[in-house]
Amino acid sequence: RKSYQTFSCFENFVESDCIGSPTYSQDHGAIKHLALLLENALRAANHPQTTLGGGLFIVGFSKGVVVLNQILHELCSCVEQDKAPEVEVARLVWLDGGHNGGKGTSVTDRNIVQNFARLGIKVSIRVTPYQYKDSRRPWIHEEERIFYKLLNEFEVDVEHSVHFEDEEPSIEAHFRIIHTLESNTWD
């Protein structure tokens, strides 16, 4: 939903306040919701399968990274409970993540990242100066730095890149980063 005609809220995936700032948990149902969306999409397309083969690439753009963070929390819960997730994920892509909530743009909890690492899911983090150089929201850069450090520490296969680094931060560059997905080097 949209709040105040400005703030995107992804409550189907993550608990949010009135402006969409997330509160993460290990049992909100984001993975279940994603599985049901995929089932319905396959059914609507008259696809012969009821599940997708292979792993999914899930991209969170801008504030949409809060959905990825919630999925990460729930995947951690799957590891702790020794159960398979309802969807097979091959790669999660954080694409110039940011939001107005003051925290929670990137996952900084060691336990969450350590458990996530056990799943062997690949990660991409792509940023622009629009988010990571925003002096009004310094937590974005700090959290992203910690997240990337933890992923490396726990030996997650992670790709990290800064795009348009020599340009002034701009909303245009923020949206232009979407085009970096067209020519990726993923396996």
Whole-angstrom Cα distance, residue 140 to residue 125?
13
The 3-state DSSP class for residue 15 equals: strand
Instruction: State the residue for tokens 């959905």.
Output: 67
pLDDT at 186: 65
pLDDT per residue of the chain (187 residues) written in tens, 0 to 9: 888 877 888 888 998 888 788 889 988 899 999 988 888 888 888 877 766 666 889 999 999 999 999 999 999 998 989 888 888 899 999 999 988 777 888 999 999 999 999 999 999 999 999 998 988 999 999 999 999 999 999 999 999 999 999 999 999 999 999 999 987 766 5
36, with CB counted inside 10 A (0-12, 13-18, 19+), is: middle
* pTM recorded for the entire structure: 0.90
Q: How far is CA 146 from CA 18, 116, 121, 138, 150, in A?
A: 27, 15, 18, 13, 6
Query: In which element (H, E) is residue 59 found?
Result: strand 56-61
